């Protein structure tokens, strides 16, 4: 086997170990943010970007150091926040492309249509989330739904941990005010479930 073949095999093994750790969480991340017909396409694009930029994934390593032999899985907490950031950008790109296609269809048929990416959920929580800015919504969802700590949210969004903490504090206060009349003493759903991780 040539050196090039060996390097390719090692790279593929590293990617497979990364995919094993993050794919399910990335799928869940996308399901919560877009329509079912977009999830698989965006997930595929996300994994393609991860393959191309695998050497940039924090915590993945090169596969040649101690404890990085074949079959060794990366630390989920180390790699997932960065991968969420990739998924977030891929989803934004897909939404822009989908929006352009939708506008073209609307012009062709001469009738407005609602984007499939717009959720039909009019629950109190989604209404309250809708009062936040897009970035604040994402910070809250990463905290409440994905169970990320502020330092991990910072890695996923490109902000500083301090900026994340401030946004999260203000957003939670605003949500509490909106939800108090109809949902006294309730917390954000999903945050205290076992799928979440530490919020500290």
What CA–CA distance (Å, rounded) separates 39 from 41?
Answer: 6
Q: Give the model confidence (pLDDT) of 165-185 as tens digits.
A: 999 999 888 888 877 765 554
What would the mean pLDDT of 43-65 be, rounded to a whole number?
83
Q: Which region, left, alpha or beta, applies to residue 64 given φ > 0 means left and ψ of -120 to 50 means alpha?
A: alpha
Strand, coil or helix: 189: coil
Q: Give the model confidence (pLDDT) of 94-107 as tens digits.
A: 888 766 655 655 55
**Mean pLDDT over each residue of the chain, to the nearest integer:** 78
pTM (whole model) above 0.85: no
CB proximity list for 180: less than 8 A, separation 6 or greater: none
The structural domains of the chain, ordered by start, are 1-118 (1.10.1740.10), 121-200 (1.10.10.10)
């Amino acid at each position: 086997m040539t050196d090039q073949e060996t390097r390719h095999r090692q790279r593929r093994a590293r990617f497979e170990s990364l995919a094993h750790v993050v794919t399910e969480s990335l799928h869940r991340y996308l399901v919560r943010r877009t329509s079912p017909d977009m999830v698989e396409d965006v997930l595929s694009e996300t994994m393609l970007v991860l393959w191309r930029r695998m050497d940039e994934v924090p915590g993945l390593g090169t596969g040649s150091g101690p404890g990085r032999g074949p079959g060794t899985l990366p630390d989920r907490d180390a790699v997932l926040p960065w991968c969420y950031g990739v998924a977030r950008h891929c989803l934004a790109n897909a939404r822009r492309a989908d929006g352009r296609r939708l506008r073209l269809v609307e012009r062709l048929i001469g009738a407005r249509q609602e984007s499939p990416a717009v959720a039909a959920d009019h629950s109190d929580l989604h209404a309250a989330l809708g009062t936040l800015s897009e970035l604040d919504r994402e910070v809250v969802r990463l905290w409440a739904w994905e169970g990320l700590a502020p330092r991990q949210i910072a890695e996923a969004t490109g902000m500083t941990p301090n900026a994340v903490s401030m946004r999260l504090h203000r957003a939670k206060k605003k949500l509490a005010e909106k939800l108090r009349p109809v949902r006294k003493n309730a917390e954000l759903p999903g945050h205290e479930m076992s799928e979440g991780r530490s919020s500290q």
